[in-house]
Amino acid sequence: MNVKAIGTAIALLCLPWTSSFAADPDAVARGKYLVTIASCHDCHTPGFFLGKPDTARYLGGSDVGFELPGLGVFHGPNLTPDKETGLGNWTDEQVIAAIQTGTRPDGRMLAPIMPYHAFAALTKQDAEAIVAYLRSIPPVQHKVVGPFGPTEAPTSFVMKVVPPGAK
């Protein structure tokens, strides 16, 4: 085992929450790769949509919401292992269900802007690797606002999806 793998293994053992997948440094590396190429940071890192991603709060939840006509405003949630504001209390299976089916543990469907239909095609190993990686990143305490229904006023920056012909 090389020094990097040993360091990763030690870091994983010291995490505040664990996963049955997190102990495998290769799974964590694969998960990091998948999260990176899927551009999860776009919707889930504060500052990204304002042109200044806050890398100290990587995947800690967006401060800019998407407005979808007739549905409301949705912010990319905190994907870090923070137990109060992130995925820290979710099981591995609940995280995978959200990624691949768009269903939260409370039964609410994620906004259609979340590409869970595409992620449904992930292999079991790739979905587990994403969980392993999310479990390995530092927890960020950051509660995102919303969601806001179509008649509610959002309290943050909003990007609008505007249908053709609309002003």
Per-residue pLDDT for 93 more than 70? yes
Confidence of residue 11 (pLDDT cuts 50, 70, 90): very low
**Structure tokens belonging to residue 126:** 């790739």
Supply the DSSP string of 45-90, one letter for each residue.
Answer: STTGGGT---GGGTTS--SEEEEETTTEEEEPPP-SS-TTTSSTTS
Q: Determine the Cα–Cα distance for residues 153 and 87; give it in Å rounded to an integer.
A: 26
The pTM score is 0.82
Q: Is the pLDDT of residue 94 over 50?
A: yes
CB atoms within 10 A of CB 42: 12
Average pLDDT, integer, range 119-132 = 96
